[in-house]
Amino acid sequence: MKKSIRTAIVVISEAGLPVAETIRRELGDSVIYIKGEVEGCEPVSSYSGFMKAHFADFKSIVFVGALGICVRSIADCIRNKYADPAVINVDSTGRFVIPVLSGHIGGGNELARIIAGITGGEAVVTTQSDNQDLWALDMLASRYGWKTSATPAEMNRAIFRFVGKQKTALLLECKDKGTDELERTCPAHVDIYYQYEKIPPTGYELLISVSPRERTSTVPVLCFYPQVLHIGAGCRKDCSPAGVGSFVKETLRKNGLSPLAIKSVSTIELKKDEALIAELHKEFAGSELAIYRAEELAGIEVPHPSDKVYEVTGVYGVAESCAIHASEGGRLLIGKQKGVLSEGNHFTFAVALSAANDRNNGHIEIVGAGPGDPELISVRGKKMLEKADLILYAGSLVPRELTQYAKPGATVRSSADMTLEEQFDLMKKFYDQGKFVVRLHTGDPCIYGAIAEQMAFFDQYGMNYHITPGISSFQAAAAALRSQFTIPEKVQSIILTRGEGRTPMPEKEKLHLLARSQSTMCIYLSAAIAEQVQEELLQAYPPETPVAACYKLTWKEEKIYRGQLKDLARIVKENHLTLTTLLIVGNAIDHREGLSRLYSHEFKHLFRP
């Protein structure tokens, strides 16, 4: 039996083999087990005996056949939902797919839905939280990378109250993808709070806390701890590590912080080989270890500078500067703490909250709006717009319809009539209030998006930001032209470029040089110099090369003009095409000749066996 196999597919009779084969082919990393000798399958003599010997060896087990045999085969193997594999039962026709064991923790419910999609059947899920579209509380930690100290009994008590729709307070004292999702999908019986002190002392039957802090209440509390805290540490040479880990954990708890929320332990390069640092890293299981050069820490201002420390290390505070650097400029929750647990063994440590997870900080999301159609924005981009307090969009390039996703009360502004300084001032104003800002750019912001200058500003002021990519207009062009821009054995490269107008092009990127490759060329921002573009391209492409001038792709005003390269300038001029025109050049346009070898029988990996 192969220990590395994730899924065992146990077939009760040969009538279920076709369904089993289909599941194996689509799932991958699985083996079919059956009584008797069947080609391509592993033989077993007894289903219950096989389960007793190998039940714990698999991540999941799929029985194909009668549910009763499935239940009797695993009955003596069941321990608890935190250790048992997911067990699924599928009837021999594939019509009904039933999670039998480990629906949540083992992923049985999700696997049942996947298999039902494979067989065309129906997943019969009986878990109450799944059927009511409620959060699976016992899966939140693993799903979002959080930790919890809840015992199985405490978790079950919380689940009982939650799925019973008893009034619940949700405390979100930090932010990450998980908290964003909880905010977006919050059930009607749950009220959200961002400060512990704002929660009324009565009126709730359950408190769910997502925070680096340990929280208590008169009602049952379920605490989740995202890894958002960073420990910076320093010590004397050859400092004894004995008891330091326990001391740091006790200090965290005295300050209301959970040791389960620690993400990293860091120090300066001078101290990287100290036993104390290794012990701290070991004490906080799963934490990252970061070692910083003195030059990396030199510019960081610390609340408790020390000239003596500077003489030895080159920085004014090892613990605080390391914690702040590891947290990317985050807030110190515990300033420099000095410890001496035995004579001569001095050490210091500090704790900072990751800036990106701090609800006191603002955030800027640079979002790619796609080519224009509001439905072509990414799912993530739409979510960002829905939660934004300020949407600053490129008004002349991005349709206002995209801002329809804004929440009530959000500020929506076009940047078309604003200077760069005015844009910065507006974004920083919202950011400094701890607000969420979306800077909405056309297409993909990283392609001719002019975001480098903005990011330099954000970097200068230590502001948190992130980029959500978008569909570029060259992709929209391929769809609109019903063309594949890469053709096996003919065209395997796509060049995104622009003509040389007021902005000079690098000498090696002149159009006539790029054109030598005969690639599919997508030329941005060049409608105004179409004659020059045509002249340069004709130095390498044949005059009959297909071209397309695509105006406002996916907008209501979209227009596409096809032709040949020798007529490109005339097409642009006669149709009064402007800045929002993308020029496509290459033989991949409308290419339909022949059948690619990729779809011949030489390439069997593209066909089902």
Residues 6 or more apart whose CB falls under 8 angstroms from that of 251 comprise 334, 337, 349
Query: Is 340 in a helix, a strand, or coil?
Result: strand
**Domain range for 447:** 363-471
CA separation for the pair 433, 360 (Å, rounded): 8
Q: Which of 358-362, 499-503, 568-572 has the highest mean pLDDT?
A: 568-572
Is 265 inside a domain boundary? Answer: yes
Q: Cα–Cα distance between 124 and 97 in angstroms, integer?
A: 6
Question: Does residue 535 carry a pLDDT above 90?
Answer: yes
Q: Do residues 212 and 260 both lie within one domain?
A: no
Radius of gyration of the chain (CA): 31
Which pLDDT value is given to residue 598? Answer: 53
Question: Does some domain include residue 594?
Answer: no
Residue 324 sits at φ, ψ, to 5 deg, of: -65, -40
What is the structure's pLDDT at 608? 44
DSSP 219: S
Same domain, 247 and 293: yes
Residues 6+ apart with CB under 8 A from 217: 199, 204, 207
Residues 101, 29, single domain; the answer is: yes
Contact 139, 105 (CB under 8 A): yes
Average pLDDT over residues 135-156: 92
Average pLDDT, integer, range 58-77:
94
Confidence of residue 594 (pLDDT cuts 50, 70, 90): low
- Residue 538, pLDDT above cutoff 50: yes
Which of 329, 357, 385 is the last residue in one of the domains?
A: 357
By the 8 A CB rule, do 184 and 383 touch? yes
404 and 423: one domain? yes
- Percentage of the residues of the chain whose pLDDT score is greater than 70: 95
Is position 103 within any domain?
Answer: yes
CA atoms within a 13 Å half-sphere pointing along the CA-CB vector of 549: 26
Q: How confident is the model at residue 369 (pLDDT cuts 50, 70, 90)?
A: very high
How many structural domains are present in the chain?
5
Calpha distance 396→131 (Å, rounded): 45
In the predicted model, what is the mean pLDDT of residues 531-538? 96
Question: Which phi-psi region, left, alpha or beta, contains residue 151 (left: φ > 0; alpha: ψ -120 to 50)?
Answer: beta
Record the pTM.
0.75
Q: Compute the average pLDDT of residues 319-328.
A: 96
CATH assignment of the domain containing 310: 3.30.420.180
Long-range contacts from 404-412, C-beta under 8 angstroms, 24+ separation: 404/374, 405/374, 405/377
Regarding whether 382 and 332 lie in a shared domain, the answer is no
* 318 assigned to some structural domain: yes
Q: Are residues 380 and 436 in the same domain?
A: yes
State the Cα–Cα distance between residues 283 and 263, nearest whole angstrom: 12
Q: Is residue 590 part of a domain?
A: no
For residue 331, list its beta bridge partners. Answer: 353
Whether pLDDT at 285 is above 60 = yes
Q: Give the β-pairing of 7-11 and 30-35.
A: parallel
Residues 264, 351: contact at Cβ < 8 Å? Answer: no
DSSP character for 594? Answer: S
The string of DSSP codes covering 400-458 is GGGGGGPPTT-EEEE-TT--HHHHHHHHHHHHHTT-EEEEEESB-TTSS---HHHHHHH
Tokens of 60: 């999941």
Residue 489 lies in a domain: yes
Q: Which residue has the tokens 């695993």?
A: 74
Cα 89 to Cα 100: distance, rounded to the nearest angstrom: 7
Phi and psi angles of residue 512, each rounded to the nearest 5 degrees, phi first: -65, -25
Average pLDDT, the chain: 91
Phi, psi of 531, rounded to the nearest 5 degrees = -65, -45
Pair 32, 21: CB distance under 8 Å: yes
Q: Which residues pair with 439 in a beta bridge?
A: 366, 392
CATH number of domain containing 420: 3.40.1010.10
